[in-house]
Structure 1
Amino acid sequence: MWILLAVAVLTALGYWILNRRHAYWIRKGVPQLKPMFILGNMWPMLSRKRSAPEMAQEMYNSGEGSRYIGTYQFLRPALMLRDPELIKQITVKDFDHFLDHVGFIDPDADPLFGRNLFALNGMQWRAMRSTLSPTFTSSKMKSMFSLMSQNGEQFVKYFLQKNQDVIEVEMRDVTSRFANDVIANTVFGFECDSLKEHNNEFYTMGKVATDFTNIRTILVFMGYILLPKLLKLFKVTFFSDKMTSFFGRIIKENIESREKYGAKRPDMIGLMLEARKNKHSEDDHTTLPDTGFATVEESEVGKNQKLRKSDITDDDITAQAFVFFFAGFDSVSSLMCFMAYELGVNQEIQQKLRDEVDATNEKCNGKITYEALTTMKYMDMVVSETLRKWPNAIATDRICTKPYTIEPKTPNEKPVHLDKGDVISLPMYPIQRDPQYYPEPERFDPERFSDENKNKIKPYTFFPFGLGPRNCIGSRFALMETKLLFYHIISNFELIPVEKTQIPIRFNRKAINMAAEKGFWLGLQRRVK
């Protein structure tokens, strides 16, 4: 009898504690979405009734009329911001209160993921960001341009050699192979041809790393949200030991080879090796055209706080190289897939881009240059609109690193006192599809980013590469890589829908990212010149 009573009391207490967690925003005077026991607001995605981006859009729309809305990622409260001015306040003006991203993987358990630039916190992040920033300036992009362009030429040559007028391709497969070769070349110093060497180890590892439908990946991802301390206790890693050892070995061999032969390359590993020797590479400050409207500017935060020689380990170099490989393989190839899709189903837009590509090709005598690519206005408009409609991530986050108060701006608001550890969600995908900022948001319209219109875009409603000092360090790299590939594709092929093309795209509800339900099938039709 007493045992049953004790169990009942403990059960009731546990239920009360868990339910109290879901009243967190109510206690702070914040309107919130109705959470489900333990699962919070995650049930639509877990039950596959909604895809991850659809769920985020639904949350955002539920807060209509409010500057913010309280949500729950299982038991973890997260405040979704809906107001551009408030987003600016938190990501830029009061950045020192929101310095970090949410901790995800314990660096001691998984150094490959936990020690990369995205995951680092505080002064460690500042120092690493400052050390890596010179790798991604305009002048460094120009120095990498020829390597990337060679990869683009290699890409189209592979398909031109096929004796077919229309070649049916799954764009996720072929663009991830291109992105793999670019990263291998410009970051790791390895030459690959993943279209010919179909199962090379670099590509195979990238494929595994970015499989967001893998059940282990999903369970670990959710485990670190739901039971982070338990997973840290057992040192559960996001990536397999095989993957960690592969990238560790590649970097170690790369470093040993460079140091043995004194080889120098203008890439990220080379820059970090210089920093380890206390020989920081400085940018030459040459005035060059930038890579496009979506390019984010580097903040002054931490510019003079580079890592000391003793602070940079092989694990640090491996972690930074891997995160750029990971981002290049997945995020950049996603941008390319969505852009290819939109050009394929909007033939008049593709024709306008083709006219610009042909005119540029003629000016360059058939050999594209960095300066010519960066002055292609319509190309930049198409890329920008792709990023608007299909951003690289559904949302990004910040964590409150010291107490902060959101002051009321409307009669129905009260001061919202945020505590250290509170999570802020910045909804890229939903806000960039909000009709009050982008009329007819489902329509693909590059003219939104014309010279006449782009200044009308409300600040802090377009942030595909993030905002403030913690924006994406690789925006120039991603934009140049994407434009180069499409320059070479459009020069030689027309992108056309095929029988397998899903129109319109529907999201894969089994994935935790923006994956297409039936892939990105298109035809490459050889141009008749």
Structure 2
Amino acid sequence: MMEICTVLLSILVIIIVYFYYEYNKVKYFEKHGIPHNKPWPLLGDMGVPLLTRRSVFQYIRDVYNLNSDAQYVGLYQFSRRIILIRNPELIKSITIKNFDHFVNHLAIVDPKTEPLFANNLISLHDDKWREVRNLLTPAFTSSKMKGMFKLMTNIGENFVDYLVEDSKNKPLEINSKDAFCRYTNDVIATCAFGISINSMKDKDNEFYTLGRKASIFEGFSAILKMMFILNFPTLTKLFNVRLIDSKVDRFFQTVVEDTIRTRDEKGITRPDMIQLMMETRANKTRPPLSIQEMTSQAFTFFFGGFETSSSLMTFVVHEIAANEDIQTKLQKEIDEMFKKTNGDVTYEAVNGLVYLDAVINEALRCYPITGVFDRVCTKSFELPPTLPGKKPLRLEPGDYLWFPVYPIQRDPMYFDDPDKFYPDRFVEDPQGTLHSPAYMPFGLGPRMCIGNRFALLQTKVLLVYLVAKCQLKPGKKMIMPLEFSNSMMMNAKGGFWLEIQPRKK
């Protein structure tokens, strides 16, 4: 009898604590006059994307639209309270002017459990982040990009020639996301690790298969796993739940170790990230990077280039294929470039393609690959009132902010006809559009994407060869108009399908 009473009492205490917690959770936003939806029990605002299988990005846009006058709104990621900042000027102030109050991203994984991911630049905090950021910045200067450009063009031309050869007898329909992942895989392998791979011919090479396994977060189970790791760190450790397979960790560490040993033994130097990190060993003012640290930073380069760059390419090419007028205009510009350079693809010529720039920038506006970026408050900070007549909101260390890039860049307040793919907006008013505080596809401030130049350059190289040599159409399997899938990264429902045939000269 006593045991039954104990169990019943425990259940009662749990229920009371639960409802008290849920009540206070809702009351926080009500107390501060912050617009919000009523959160689901336990799931918070994640109930809609998890249980209705609706796109995460569409749901965040719904939350963003709760009140068009509010500077920020509230939501819950399970039990974590999030302030979603709607005002681009306030975002700019937080990420640039007041950066010292918001230095870090949320730590996703435990360094002891997953050192590969936890020690990369995205995950590092405070002084360690500053140290590694300063170390890696020289890898992305214009001179370094020029050095890598020739490597990229060799891969880009070979990649497109493979597609042309495959489509010369009849139109070829491809899964464009898979194909462009193979292209970015080969570029990253060469430019970061000094390894030559042809993933279109050697389709199951280990670099590609493990890279894809490490980088692709798609489907309901991936969302659930990510949310579990983010919100239940103790249980994550207890059940050894990993974001990235340990086999991937071992593979990349072996690649870095073998590359460094071979270069040391044979005196080999290459214009890539491994070389840059090896050269830091000569700096006596700070401890040299360990193999694990080098592996983590090289993996950051790979992770960013493999997934996000290939996603950008996929959306750009889809819009080019779906809009014949855009494709014709782009073909004309690229054909004229080849004519002026006598068929030579140079760094300066590619970066001088105005309309190509506009098409890529418009894709970044319509389809910012991460959709949302974040900051964690590290020093107390006062936000202005979200609405007239309300009080300011005092943020304390540990408070969590989201910056909803996708909804802002689709807001008619900042961009005319925002859901229309219209590259000419970047030609008609390039400075006003490109430098608008509402345009932030790579983030803002000191923690904006360090590899944005690299991502843009490898995208331009692919498009130059692809548009010059191929006629593009949406594939028969492509769901039109495009709908977002329910995944952690921005992707199309049903996948991306592209029809290719050689251009008639």
TM-score, structure 1 as length reference: 0.91
The amino acid that maps onto 1:95 is F
How does 1:118-157 map onto structure 2 within 5 Å?
A: 118-157=122-161
Alpha-carbon separation, structure 1, partners of 2:54 and 2:48: 5
Alpha-carbon separation, structure 2, partners of 1:199 and 1:81: 43
Alpha-carbon separation, structure 2, partners of 1:413 and 1:376: 49
Contact preservation (8 Å) 1:496, 1:522 = yes
Q: Residues 441, 452 of structure 1: CA spacing in aligned structure 2 closer, same or farther, 3 A cutoff?
A: closer
Contact preservation (8 Å) 1:25, 1:77 = no
The amino acid that maps onto 2:210 is M
How does 1:371-390 map onto structure 2 within 5 Å?
A: 371-390=348-367
Alpha-carbon separation, structure 1, partners of 2:433 and 2:444: 19
Structure 2 counterpart SS, 1:186 = helix
Range with bigger deviation, 8-17 or 112-121: 8-17
Q: Residues 257, 48 of structure 1: CA spacing in aligned structure 2 closer, same or farther, 3 A cutoff?
A: farther
Alpha-carbon separation, structure 1, partners of 2:190 and 2:260: 15
Q: Structure 1, residues 170-226: CA drift from partner, whole Å, max 9, x if none?
A: 110110000000000000110000000010001101221233236664343111232
The amino acid that maps onto 2:242 is T
Range with bigger deviation, 173-182 or 237-246: 237-246
Alpha-carbon separation, structure 1, partners of 2:11 and 2:195: 61
Structure 1 counterpart SS, 2:365 = helix
Structure 1 counterpart SS, 2:193 = coil
The amino acid that maps onto 1:134 is P
Alpha-carbon separation, structure 2, partners of 1:6 and 1:526: 71
Alpha-carbon separation, structure 2, partners of 1:12 and 1:475: 49
1:194 aligned to 2:199?
yes
Contact preservation (8 Å) 2:111, 2:119 = yes
Q: Residues 161, 10 of structure 1: CA spacing in aligned structure 2 closer, same or farther, 3 A cutoff?
A: closer
Q: Residues 67, 526 of structure 1: CA spacing in aligned structure 2 closer, same or farther, 3 A cutoff?
A: same
How far does residue 232 in structure 1 lie from its aligned partner after superposition? 3.8
Q: Residues 458, 29 of structure 1: CA spacing in aligned structure 2 closer, same or farther, 3 A cutoff?
A: farther
Alpha-carbon separation, structure 2, partners of 1:32 and 1:453: 36
Contact preservation (8 Å) 1:381, 1:446 = yes
The amino acid that maps onto 1:497 is P
Q: 1:54 — aligned with what?
A: 58
The amino acid that maps onto 1:526 is P
The amino acid that maps onto 1:515 is N
1:247 aligned to 2:252?
yes
Q: 1:526 — aligned with what?
A: 502
Contact preservation (8 Å) 1:53, 1:394 = yes
2:338 corresponds, among 358, 361, 371, to 361
Structure 2 counterpart SS, 1:78 = strand
The amino acid that maps onto 1:484 is V
Q: Structure 1, residues 102-161: CA drift from partner, whole Å, max 9, x if none?
A: 111111211110000000000000000000000001111011000000001110121222
Alpha-carbon separation, structure 2, partners of 1:19 and 1:108: 35
Structure 2 counterpart SS, 1:220 = helix
The amino acid that maps onto 2:209 is T
Q: 2:231 — aligned with what?
A: 226
Q: Residues 187, 458 of structure 1: CA spacing in aligned structure 2 closer, same or farther, 3 A cutoff?
A: closer
Q: Residues 458, 27 of structure 1: CA spacing in aligned structure 2 closer, same or farther, 3 A cutoff?
A: farther
Alpha-carbon separation, structure 1, partners of 2:433 and 2:350: 25
1:174 corresponds, among 168, 171, 179, to 179
Q: 1:428 — aligned with what?
A: 405
Alpha-carbon separation, structure 2, partners of 1:386 and 1:241: 34
Q: 2:490 — aligned with what?
A: 514
1:205 corresponds, among 201, 210, 227, to 210
Q: 1:102 — aligned with what?
A: 106
How does 1:36-47 map onto structure 2 within 5 Å?
A: 36-47=40-51
How far does residue 310 in structure 1 lie from its aligned partner after superposition? 1.8
Contact preservation (8 Å) 1:24, 1:77 = no
The amino acid that maps onto 1:129 is R
The amino acid that maps onto 2:290 is T
Q: 1:273 — aligned with what?
A: 278
Contact preservation (8 Å) 1:437, 1:458 = no
The amino acid that maps onto 2:17 is L
Contact preservation (8 Å) 2:372, 2:405 = yes
Contact preservation (8 Å) 1:402, 1:420 = yes
Q: Structure 1, residues 330-363: CA drift from partner, whole Å, max 9, x if none?
A: 1000000001110011010110010000000011
Contact preservation (8 Å) 1:343, 1:350 = yes
Gaps of 5+ in 1: 280-307
Contact preservation (8 Å) 2:70, 2:386 = no
Contact preservation (8 Å) 2:362, 2:422 = yes
Alpha-carbon separation, structure 2, partners of 1:191 and 1:248: 18
Structure 2 counterpart SS, 1:436 = coil
Alpha-carbon separation, structure 2, partners of 1:362 and 1:48: 53
How far does residue 164 in structure 1 lie from its aligned partner after superposition? 2.1
Structure 2 counterpart SS, 1:161 = helix
1:74 aligned to 2:78?
yes
The amino acid that maps onto 2:139 is T
1:480 aligned to 2:484?
no
Range with bigger deviation, 257-266 or 29-38: 29-38
TM-score, structure 2 as length reference: 0.95
Aligned sequence identity (%) = 41
Gaps of 5+ in 2: none
Q: Residues 180, 133 of structure 1: CA spacing in aligned structure 2 closer, same or farther, 3 A cutoff?
A: same
2:39 corresponds, among 29, 35, 38, to 35
Alpha-carbon separation, structure 2, partners of 1:23 and 1:132: 44
Q: 1:303 — aligned with what?
A: none
The amino acid that maps onto 2:263 is R
Q: Residues 242, 234 of structure 1: CA spacing in aligned structure 2 closer, same or farther, 3 A cutoff?
A: same
Structure 2 counterpart SS, 1:103 = coil
Q: 2:368 — aligned with what?
A: 391
Q: 1:287 — aligned with what?
A: none
Question: 4+ residue stretches of structure 1 with deviation over 4 A?
Answer: none
Contact preservation (8 Å) 1:106, 1:235 = no
